[in-house]
Amino acid sequence: MPTALSPSGVPSAHLRPAGIRSLALAVPDDSHEVTLPDGRRALRHRLREPEGGLELERQAAEEALELAGLDASEVELVLSASFPALPEPCIGNATPLAFSLGMHEAAAWNVECACAGGLLALRNACQEVAMGAYRNVLVTVTCPYSATVEPGHPALTVVGDAAFAMVVGPSGERGAFEGAVLRNSGPTCDLVSWGVSDRTPSGIRLEVDGATAGKLERWAQGEIPELLERLLDRTGTTREDVDHWVLNAPTPSFVDRTLETMGVTPADGVNTNRLLGNVGPALLGTSLFYSAYLRNIQPGDRVLLCSVGSEASLALGMMRWPDGVALGKVPNHASLETLRAFEAERFGMVAAA
């Protein structure tokens, strides 16, 4: 089996395996219980004004560095995939974050791929390490969606805020990022737009309608079977080789329906939507974080990653879980016990259906 891939996805013996060393999560402690359209309760976590996503991103980054046993001076590259990047809506967070952490000599750049940004940033970080360009890469992702919705708007039952950070570096042969396939989500470009508003905390407004989620789901599920076969072929694997299926959860139904589209059962993946809501580019990292705890991912386990972003990309990736991945603390206000209860209800509903 290949242990590393070139940027085009072609196996290369000249590249070194690269993978995750640590993974930390940050969730605002301003938590609210909401009621979903089907009557189930859910939690949403929101930044307090005038907080911006950058502070939440820094919190996750500092914990990820501590878990990896790294000093800021040892980080050579910072990749940020924050969306929307706030408090400065036109500039990403990579450089302000790196500088504020004392990484004055590190390279820093932003990755923009909307809700697929977390997976793309992980892919890019692993490739930079595999090629030998950098040894220690800090990946940070944050989503301050609530700052783009006016108080009292129904969308606040859908969106939430969260951040995660990873340290990526050289890994053992059984812990590499094995490959990815991406396709642009051009057909979804008319589903989301942004405007200027003095009624939102950030001054910018996310504009969607009630049909957006369903349209995005239907488009993605129509594309996923082909992309999954391409990924399996590229990595020389089969469905049976996959130990864990980790999907982003922008809606309550996306994980279950997409797993069925992939030819596996809903029980093969964790659904974090009721715990966190739609947290944009942070969806993939939060799903991976909770999956690692709930499913007890072990070194060498193969993990399939799936993430979709409107007007961005649909992305699938394959990785082996490295030895010694350090996981951060689980927030008390977004606990494993709460997620387990939500999952138990989910499986009961799936069984009943």
**Under a CB-based contact definition with an 8 Å cutoff, are residues 46 and 30 in contact?**
yes
pLDDT at 208: 77
Q: Is the pLDDT of residue 65 over 70?
A: yes
Give the contacts of 143 (CB within 8 A, at least 6 positions apart): 53, 82, 83, 160, 161, 162, 163, 279, 280, 281, 282, 283
Q: 245 - beta bridge partners?
A: 269, 304
**Which pLDDT score, from 0 to 100, does residue 228 have?**
98
Residue 7, pLDDT above cutoff 70: no
Does residue 10 surpass a pLDDT of 70? no
Q: How confident is the model at residue 233 (pLDDT cuts 50, 70, 90)?
A: very high
Burial class (CB in 10 A: 0-12, 13-18, 19+), 352: exposed
Q: Which residues pair with 206 in a beta bridge?
A: 194
Helix, strand, coil shares of the chain, percent, nearest 5, are 40, 25, 35
Domains annotated on the chain, with CATH: 13-353 (3.40.47.10)
pLDDT at 87 (0 to 100): 75
Distance separating alpha carbons of residues 221 and 150, to the nearest angstrom? 31
Q: What are the Cα distances from residue 19, in Å, to 135, 239, 321, 328?
A: 11, 21, 8, 17
Digit-coded pLDDT (tens) for 47-62: 987 677 899 999 999 9
Between residues 5 and 205, which one has the greater pLDDT?
205
Model confidence pLDDT, tens digit, residues 221-232: 999 999 999 999
Helix (H, G, I), strand (E, B) or coil at 132: coil
pLDDT digit string, tens, across residues 90-139: 789 999 999 999 999 999 999 999 899 999 999 999 999 999 999 999 99
148-192 pLDDT, tens digit each: 999 988 889 999 999 999 999 999 878 899 999 999 999 988 888
What's the whole-number mean pLDDT along residues 200-209? Answer: 85
pLDDT score recorded for residue 74: 97
pLDDT at residue 286 above 50?
yes
Section 286-311 average pLDDT: 96
Is the confidence at residue 214, as pLDDT, over 90?
A: no
- Please tell me what DSSP assigns to residue 116: G
pLDDT at 264: 96
Q: Mean pLDDT in the chain?
A: 92
Cβ atoms of 117 and 124 closer than 8 Å: no
Strand 107-110, strand 77-80: pairing: parallel
Note the pTM of the prediction, 2 decimals: 0.93
- 346 or 87: which leads in pLDDT: 346
| Residue 91, φ and ψ in degrees, nearest 5 | -130, 135
Q: What is the pLDDT of residues 17-44, one digit of tens each?
A: 999 999 999 999 999 999 998 999 999 9
The pLDDT tens digits for 295-307 are: 999 999 999 999 9
pLDDT at position 350, please?
65
